[in-house]
Amino acid sequence: MEVVGSAGGKQRSKLLVIGASSLGTVFEWYDFYLYGLLATVISVQFFSGVNETTGFIFALAAFAAGFAVRPFGALVFGRLGDLVGRKYTFLVTMGIMGLSTFLVGVLPSYAAIGVAAPILLVILRLLQGLALGGEYGGAATYVAEHAPPGKRGLYTSFIQTTATLGLFAALLVVIGTRLALGEEAFADWGWRIPFLVSILLLAVSLWIRMQLEESPVFAAMKAEGTTSKAPLREAFGEWSNLKIVLVALFGAVAGQAVVWYAGQFYALFFLEKTLKVDGATANVLMAIALALATPAFVFFGWLSDKIGRKPIILTGCALAVLTYFPLFGALTQAANPSMAQAQVQSPVVAYADPDRCSVQFDPIGKNRFDGSGCDVAKSFLAKAGVPYSNAEIAGAQAGIRIGDLDIAAPVAETLTPEVRAAAIAAFQAEAKAALAAAGYPEKADTAAMNKPLVVAILTILVLYVTMVYGPIAALLVEMFPARIRYSSMSLPYHIGNGWFGGFLPTTSFAIVAATGDIYAGLWYPIVIALVTIVVGLIFLREPRDPD
């Protein structure tokens, strides 16, 4: 959409395209990520019928459900975008997203309507995922098709900032609501306010997007009659294009996705759930890091116009692989020094016969983990959020060792229900007292926290995000022909970010719950990023500013 006339008019037109497309996408990300920020509160409101650890993982799983359907949204709306146009498709996706988010704010809790509450919550998350599956590809394609040659990385980098800006906006609203109401009122009912606000953002977003005209590239194809009649078949049914889709997925997007979600969401959950930093403080620290690092999206988008997209994305993945373990270890030292010191001075070991141990995650949600002494010991440690290592000793009575102190777990399977309950309560009380004596805190002490160091570490993690995410839109739009671009780029993007990235918090925390090692969940993003580095180096070809 270029305005005929002065150079100033053309410049204003380009700014309108970037601004309107970006602002609307910011609001969509705000809607989508509110749930992730409030996972801890939502686990209490909608999954209170299961044990605490399982409830939190279920809440993360419902968070991931929105990501699971994103590729299907990419197929549905990508096809529409290639058939009827970019503009009207992302108007539809925005309406679905805004209404679904608003309805989460009025949804009754588990206490009010029972199991129907989490079911309805998951349905709304699925609708959000479908909408987002169609939004991003449309916005990125729309802006790229307006960009002049040599500046696609710069132009599309503004779209890349929208996910982080949406998260930032959500953080500000959540922080403001928490401070205004207090933690008790916020946990009870105030958490609904950020969801309800989305209806206002929806109205503003729709009005802004209505000011835009269709992409000039699509308008030209439509006028010439060269638009695709079967975009899905052309995009995924023909090997010449499908192989490029696969290279884009495994050689760029999968690694980008896990670095994105590890650096912004997993880091936030790690602070709050593992390091026991209170939610308000964790949100503020992450918001500061996002504010500091977000301009780097534009920098790396601009840089990709100069030196290429591929080297920047793969370098970001490599830095994540090499530094995640030391960075998260340093984050523990800075955010909860008492826990870090207790881990060194009085490490916790769960010892048991491995044949008597269950995995500490129950997909049914009703396992109390009291069937054996091993289950009792590990369930207590998982619920308390205490990091531990495992010692497998055949035939041994289960228990936990805190420093030099051994506490035997009750042989639960041999006891009557009444005696078992009393024995478990006694074991938990003794273990809790021992942990306190060893210096393991129930909550992180904000006064002892090295907040500048926490912000610095979080900023580094977000800078990795800007490296992999800033150039990705320009890379994807340049890899595919215009007639099937919306469909072709949307599917690998949303499989990567919806499945590889979206399931990262759930998968990583389940690994932590199963192993007791608070850093074990980092293996998931590290392995995926390694795969992307290898595939990208071998198969990914750098597009050279194609027409």
- Other CB atoms within 10 Å distance of the CB of residue 239: 9
- Span 287-342, pLDDT tens digits: 899 889 989 999 999 999 899 999 999 999 999 999 999 999 999 999 999 988 98
Q: How confident is the model at residue 3 (pLDDT cuts 50, 70, 90)?
A: very low
CB-based contact 362:56 (threshold 8 Å): no
- Other CB atoms within 10 Å distance of the CB of residue 466: 27
What is the rounded CA–CA span in Å between residue 349 and residue 329?
19
Distance of CA 80 to the CA centre of its chain: 27
Pairing of strands 405-408, 399-402: antiparallel
Query: Is residue 6 pLDDT above 50, yes or no?
Result: no
CB-based contact 268:37 (threshold 8 Å): yes
Burial of 363 (0-12, 13-18, 19+ CB in 10 A): exposed
348 - beta bridge partners? 402
Average pLDDT over residues 349-364: 67
Out of 30-34, 84-88, 322-326, 394-398, pick the least confident: 84-88
Average pLDDT over residues 232-248: 84
**Between the ranges 35-44, 182-191, 525-534, where is the mean pLDDT highest?**
525-534
Q: How confident is the model at residue 546 (pLDDT cuts 50, 70, 90)?
A: low
The domains of the chain, with CATH numbers, are 7-336+445-539 (1.20.1250.20), 344-437 (3.40.30)
Give residue 332's pLDDT. Answer: 93
**159 contacts: CB under 8 Å, gap ≥ 6:** 21, 22, 25, 136, 139, 140, 143, 473
Query: Is residue 408 pLDDT above 50, yes or no?
Result: yes
The enclosing H or E element of 348 equals strand 348-352
- Span 455-479, pLDDT tens digits: 999 999 999 999 999 899 888 888 8
N- to C-terminal Cα separation, the chain: 17
Query: Is residue 89 pLDDT above 80, yes or no?
Result: no
Single-letter code of the amino acid located at 103: L
What is the rounded CA–CA span in Å between residue 316 and residue 331?
19
What is the rounded CA–CA span in Å between residue 40 and residue 411?
33
Give residue 50's pLDDT. Answer: 58
Q: How many residues does the chain have?
A: 547
DSSP 441: -
Query: Is residue 21 pLDDT above 60, yes or no?
Result: yes
* Packed helices 116-144 and 472-479: angle between N→C axes, nearest 10 degrees: 70
Q: Which two tokens stand for residue 510?
A: 């389940």
Average pLDDT over residues 388-411: 85
- Span 147-189, pLDDT tens digits: 777 888 888 888 778 777 887 888 888 889 988 988 889 988 8
Give residue 110's pLDDT. Answer: 81
Out of 14-28, 248-262, 379-393, 512-526, pick the least confident: 14-28
Q: Which two tokens stand for residue 161?
A: 């900032």
The enclosing H or E element of 448 equals none
Give residue 545's pLDDT. Answer: 58
Query: Is residue 512 pLDDT above 60, yes or no?
Result: yes
Average pLDDT over residues 277-292: 88
